Structure 1
Amino acid sequence: MRLTFIGKDPESNPTGSPTVYRTERDSWVVQGWVVNDPEALAQMDIPQGETCVEIPDRMLQFFRQGESGIDSR
């Protein structure tokens, strides 16, 4: 899978920020904070091999930016 960097959380520090990537497979990869709140996890049905991460609303701008300029192969 080839990742194309789209954007990093503009309000984060340089070492621990959420980041958005676009793939050539018409999908997204999101680096974010691990969700380990038992109440939140109990509300989801996460299959083996999957996980969830949390990102702030301010990161949504990068999903819109990623739609243009990425060539799907």
Structure 2
Amino acid sequence: MALHKLGKDPESKTGDSPTVYLDDETDNYLVQGWKVNDGRRSAMDLPDNEDVIEIPRRMVQFFMKEDRGDA
């Protein structure tokens, strides 16, 4: 498995920002983001093996990059 960092939140001021990765073995995205622990989470039908995180809209750009090398 090789994880490729596609991009971090460009507006992060702390350095611990949301990040988007691509796993080139599974061709799946992995997303680091903020935990959702409020009423929105309880409004979702989440199975035990899934979770939900939140990222800013500006990060969508990293999902569609043609160059999938390290950002």
Shared fold (TM-score greater than 0.5)?
Answer: yes
- The alignment partner of 1:58 has SS state of helix
Task: Give 5+ residue unaligned stretches, structure 2.
Answer: none
In structure 2, the residue matched to 1:64 is 64
Query: Deviation string for 1:19-66 (max 9, x for gaps)?
Result: 0001121210000000001x201211111121110000000000111x
Task: Give secondary structure in 2 for the equivalent of 1:60.
Answer: helix
Q: Percent identity?
A: 49
Count of aligned positions: 67
RMSD between superposed Cα atoms in Å = 1.3
* Amino acid across the alignment from 2:42: A
How does the TM-score come out when normalised to structure 1?
0.81
Q: Does 1:15 align with 2:3?
A: no
| Cα distance in structure 2, aligned partners of 1:56 and 1:36 | 16
Considering fraction of residues, name the structure with more helix: 1
Matched, 1:29 2:33: no
Structure 1 residue ranges without an equivalent (≥5): none
The alignment's TM-score, normalised by the length of structure 2, stands at 0.83
